[in-house]
Amino acid sequence: MIIICGAGSKLAKNSIEYLSKRHELVTISRFAKYSGSNITNYNLKDYSELPLVLKALKAKDYVWINFAGHFNNDLLVNTTKENLDIDQDINFSINFQAAKFLIPSMIKHKFGRFIFISSSRALVGDVGMFSYTLGKKANLTLQEQIVMEYSRFGITANTLSLGFYDTKLWQILDDKLKNKLLKRVPTQKLSDPSCIAPAIELMINHPTINNSIFKLDDGYR
């Protein structure tokens, strides 16, 4: 069973369409709903309800993927505690909650996959990205901890480091910044979202891909 959190994002939608043809899917979001015999939808008022959904699931093989993301574009000194907490809740705490609830079942059934979604820009850091980068890098610590403590039970954890796609996070940027960022990409264009799902499939099927940062960013520098 593949659990896709943040199912309302454009990138999640493309992956859901691909993966639902091959796997049983559970989608979790605040508004998105997908049709298909292999898809079960959960719509939440907010992600504080996530533990209730995870408790209700019954499966032997779990794959966790979180496409949910939140970005506050503020300089460090302008970052408020409120905005910092929002970014951490969505970018990191959701993954932490999922790990706590799913790992016991993964241990029992000797299988589990955690696939965290980040971006190459977040992992490098940039102006105005303090709170966003903080959460994404915290996921790397969570990934390493899962690998060290639970790999012996057939559980892997990896990160997909994405480039620039036509998403809400991209659309909120002004044109000047967009042009500046695309100059850091050798192709100088947005990435193709259809490449994400095959990479997810690879991580699911190969247990030796573990504790990796898998870059899908068209060579972002």
Host H or E run for residue 2? strand 2-5
CATH of the domain at 23: 3.40.50.720
Position 37 pLDDT exceeds 80: yes
CB of 184 closer than 8 Å to CB of 220: yes
Per-residue pLDDT reduced to its tens digit, 104-151: 999 999 999 999 999 888 877 778 778 888 889 999 999 999 999 999
Position 10 pLDDT exceeds 90: no
CB of 204 closer than 8 Å to CB of 198: no
Distance of alpha carbon 105 from alpha carbon 99, whole angstroms: 10
With bands split at pLDDT 50, 70 and 90, how would you rate the model's confidence at 219? confident
178 falls within a domain? yes
Position 23 pLDDT exceeds 80: yes
59 falls within a domain? yes
193 falls within a domain? yes
221 falls within a domain? no
164 falls within a domain? yes
**3-state DSSP helix/strand/coil percent for the chain, to nearest 5?**
50, 20, 35
Closest CA to 101 of 134, 144, 63, 54: 54
Tell me how many domains the chain contains.
1
Per-residue pLDDT reduced to its tens digit, 141-200: 999 999 999 999 999 999 999 988 887 777 877 888 888 888 888 888 888 888 899 999
With bands split at pLDDT 50, 70 and 90, how would you rate the model's confidence at 217? confident
What SS3 class is residue 6? coil
pTM over 0.85, yes/no: yes
Structural domain that includes position 185: 2-216
CA angle (151 as vertex; 145, 152 as ends), nearest 5: 130
